[in-house]
Structure 1
């Protein structure tokens, strides 16, 4: 991990916006009206999916993927102008939030400015044809970082954006060689030293596949040398196996606990239940009470939090990346207050730098325990909305649930769980 990364970044709540689908207008200007509501969720960073022009050659869908970028240094005219981008950044800052943009440096579109001007910057096969490490990405051309002239172009682009934004979310960061990211971080710091770097890291099977083809791809342990935060895709397969009933909660909890031993002491995972590449949480958890427990559990884990736009209203449809697919904001679900409260709790020192341990119980109930000095804070989440009994070392008595403000009774070291999330701490003890 970057040696100077502060564990305070575990306090972050990042709100992800796909500008094209977020409003009916689909523009940077139209997004500004929603900033106060986004801020009220507890948002620290707004992360914009790519807002650059999209390529037309081999385009997928009518509008194409925002990750098939035609020009890194331009704004998609359908979304606005460079001045609109600067104005949005100013408005985000006035709301007390920061701005993170998507950096897509593994590839460009197949008709990009860079490909036309510098075809030598791209991977080619023995016949001289464009070559992709990932054949499924048929709408893009992959870059070749063995050419150091490419480094100069890419870093200069980052420096231009660093004058405006506060963070970079780097798409498929592990496939871009680590030495490039180390150099980029060093040089960008000369423009803005406190830029936050988030890596879209990846899972073990994908790492194994790319390495088997003879190409560079970083593990999370490596990526942390250059980045402040990384996705929790290292446990994504384990998570989905648990959801599918292929493994037990106890096995999944073992993997989560192992993260604390695998990565540096100041590691920061970005915890998320959904994002633009995966199904919506409410689709995964149709039962609303399950969704509530999983949302609270995800945000109570050690690390930063991602909220994908619409998640707070329980949207079930994953918006298309390739066609117009406006968000439907009118639902009967509203998790906004809970998300805000979970963010408030995440600001406390015990959750930032306390020791963290997860424990599984029968009936798919999980306990997350934070401790620092003589203080303890525990969260208990019934992932399938079951009732159950949870053992704890907290002193017997009546406590206030920090999430619902209801009373929680601890008797003989046991808490009776009735399917609702519970968060208590030693300081909330009341006399019986």
Structure 2
């Protein structure tokens, strides 16, 4: 892992914005008016999905995927100008937040500037045709990092952005060779030593598939050498198996506990319930009380937290990556207050550097405990809307639920759970 990564990054809340679909105007300028609301959620970083021009050749849908980039060094005219990006960055900074942009270095569009000027920088098969490791990505051409001239171009581009942004979310980061990322991190630090690096890491099945084709792909253990944070995709299938009833809560808790010993001490996982590549959490978790508990539970886990725009209102529809598909903000749910409160709790040292352990209780109730010296903070979450009891290692007495200020009674080392999330501590 990057030796200099600070565990304080576990305090972060990242808010993900797809500019095209976030506002009616779908521009960088229009996003500025939403900054106060985003900040009020407790947001530390705003992460923009790719803001570069989108290719037209082999385009999927009417507008195309922002991940099929035509020119890394320009801003999509549909979103605005380079000056608009600089102004937005200034406004984000003045709001007390930071800006992270999406970097898509595994591939470009099939009519990109790089493909036109440097076709030798791309993967080809034995017949000379463009070759994709992932054939489903038919709208892109994959880059070949065996050519070190490509490294220089890509790093220079990163340094250009590092003058105005504070972090990079790197798409399909494991498929880009680790030595490149190590060199990129070192060089970007000369421009902005405080740059935060987030890798879209991946799960075991996909790693096996790409390696079987003879290509580089990093596991999380490798990716942490260059990156500060990584996705939770190493246990994503375990999460879906639990949600669908294919496995038990105990199974899911086991893999979460295993993460804490599988990676270096200063590992940072980015926890999330949803993102632009997956179904909305409310689509997966229909019961609103379950969704409430999952929201609190995900925020209470060890690591940084991602909120995908619209998640705070329980939006069910996942915006298309390929069409004009605006977020419908008006719902009957609002988790904004909960998200803000959970972020406030995440700032406390016990949740940053304390001992972290999960246990499964009966009735699909999960307990998360942070401890540091004599201090203990415990979160209890009913993930399938069941009442029950939870055993806790606290003295009997009356405690305050740190989420809503209500009283919580511990008697004979047991708490009665009535489906609402509970967080208590012994201070």
Q: Same fold (TM over 0.5)?
A: yes
Question: 2: CA distance between counterparts of 1:311 and 1:127?
Answer: 46
Question: 1: CA distance between counterparts of 2:70 and 2:342?
Answer: 39
Hey, what does 1:414 align to over in structure 2?
A: 414
Deviation at 1:324, TM superposition (A): 0.3
Hey, what does 2:255 align to over in structure 1?
A: 255
Question: 2: CA distance between counterparts of 1:151 and 1:426?
Answer: 52
Deviations 1:190-239 (A, max 9, x none): 00001000000000000000000000000000000000000010000111
Hey, what does 1:177 align to over in structure 2?
A: 177
Deviation at 1:396, TM superposition (A): 0.4
Deviation at 1:385, TM superposition (A): 1.1
Deviation at 1:185, TM superposition (A): 0.1
Deviation at 1:146, TM superposition (A): 0.2
Equivalent positions of 1:32-431 (< 5 A) are 32-427=32-427
SS in 1 for 2:378: strand
Deviation at 1:391, TM superposition (A): 0.5
Deviation at 1:261, TM superposition (A): 0.8
Question: 2: CA distance between counterparts of 1:244 and 1:282?
Answer: 14
Deviations 1:287-327 (A, max 9, x none): 11000000000000000000000000000000000000001
Question: 2: CA distance between counterparts of 1:41 and 1:392?
Answer: 30
Question: 1: CA distance between counterparts of 2:85 and 2:329?
Answer: 24
Question: 1: CA distance between counterparts of 2:424 and 2:365?
Answer: 16
Question: 2: CA distance between counterparts of 1:261 and 1:338?
Answer: 29
Deviation at 1:77, TM superposition (A): 0.2
Deviations 1:99-153 (A, max 9, x none): 0000000000000000000000000001000000000000000000000000000
SS in 2 for 1:108: strand
Q: Greater CA deviation, 388-397 or 177-186?
A: 388-397
Q: How many residues align?
A: 427
SS in 2 for 1:46: strand
Question: 2: CA distance between counterparts of 1:162 and 1:393?
Answer: 47
Deviation at 1:422, TM superposition (A): 0.3
Deviation at 1:404, TM superposition (A): 1.2
SS in 1 for 2:56: coil
Deviation at 1:332, TM superposition (A): 1.0
Question: 1: CA distance between counterparts of 2:384 and 2:249?
Answer: 11
Hey, what does 1:430 align to over in structure 2?
A: none
Question: 2: CA distance between counterparts of 1:290 and 1:204?
Answer: 28
Deviations 1:140-196 (A, max 9, x none): 000000000000000000000000000000000000000000000000000000100
Deviation at 1:285, TM superposition (A): 1.0
Deviation at 1:251, TM superposition (A): 0.7
SS in 2 for 1:363: helix
| Structure 2: gaps spanning 5 or more residues | none
SS in 1 for 2:356: strand
Question: 2: CA distance between counterparts of 1:288 and 1:389?
Answer: 21
- What TM-score comes out, normalization by structure 1 length? 0.99
SS in 2 for 1:366: strand
SS in 1 for 2:10: helix
Question: 2: CA distance between counterparts of 1:312 and 1:4?
Answer: 32
Question: 1: CA distance between counterparts of 2:88 and 2:239?
Answer: 36
- What TM-score comes out, normalization by structure 2 length? 1.00
RMSD (Å), alpha carbons: 0.4
Deviations 1:79-114 (A, max 9, x none): 000000000000000000000000000000000000
SS in 1 for 2:369: strand
SS in 1 for 2:405: coil
Deviation at 1:286, TM superposition (A): 1.1
Question: 1: CA distance between counterparts of 2:362 and 2:410?
Answer: 18
SS in 1 for 2:73: coil
